[in-house]
Copies of this chain bind each other. A is one copy, B any other.
Amino acid sequence: MNNNNFEIINTPIQINEVINKVEDRNAGAINTFIGTVRELTKGKKTVYLKYDAYISMAEKKLAQIGGEIQKEYPESKVAITHRIGELAISDIAVVIAVSTPHRADAFAASRYAIERIKEIVPIWKKEHWEDGEKWMGDQLEHKPYPEGKPEKGDLN
């Protein structure tokens, strides 16, 4: 699995490019998760979002997630692209693609990837509302790990 399979970019994500990376003659199933900017969150209206990342570490952590999936599903291929910068409503923030021979594994692995991204990948979202702005990820709005940091076993 190429490291180009795990990218942080600051331009619009081309869904097909991410999917093409996981194509395989022995894949019968590709699951794709696309995270988009939603207008309403708990009744609050988002105007736009800004994502920032510790890019080099974030790409490493995305690749780590890919490695975790390949360990569990040796025949899988994984690609993840996350966009940073300013995003408008309906813009795509992240695309995950996982191919596997059989469909149940593709679903499970894709789900795992998005949950892990929210735990260990150093990317931050700043919500901009009409009446203010806020870096998300704090304990009031969103708590990524119960102990304030990932468990030791989650990190390496």
CB within 8 Å of B: which residues of A? 15-16, 19, 23-41, 89-90, 99, 101, 103, 106-107, 110-111, 114
Residue of B with least CB distance to A34: B30
Residue in contact with A15 in the complex, picked from B15, B106, B110, B114, CB distance below 8 Å: B15
Given the contacts A15-B16, A19-B15, A114-B103, A32 and B29 also touching, CB distance less than 8 Å = no
Looking at chain A's contact residues, is the secondary structure mostly helix, strand, loop, or mixed?
A: mixed
Q: Are A28 and B32 closer than 8 Å at their CB atoms?
A: no
Given the contacts A16-B15, A107-B111, A111-B107, A29 and B36 also touching, CB distance less than 8 Å = yes
Q: Are A39 and B26 closer than 8 Å at their CB atoms?
A: yes
Residue of B with least CB distance to A114: B103
Given the contacts A32-B31, A110-B107, A38 and B19 also touching, CB distance less than 8 Å = no
Residue in contact with A33 in the complex, picked from B23, B90, B103, CB distance below 8 Å: B103
Q: Are B31 and A36 closer than 8 Å at their CB atoms?
A: no
Q: Return A90 CB to nearest CB of chain B, in Å.
A: 6
Q: State the CA gap A24–B38 with chains docked (Å).
A: 8
Residue of B with least CB distance to A23: B90
Note all chain B residues with C-beta closer than 8 A to A15: 15-16, 19
Q: State the CA gap A99–B29 with chains docked (Å).
A: 19
Given the contacts A15-B15, A16-B16, A90-B23, A35 and B31 also touching, CB distance less than 8 Å = no
Q: Return A87 CB to nearest CB of chain B, in Å.
A: 12
Q: Are A28 and B33 closer than 8 Å at their CB atoms?
A: no
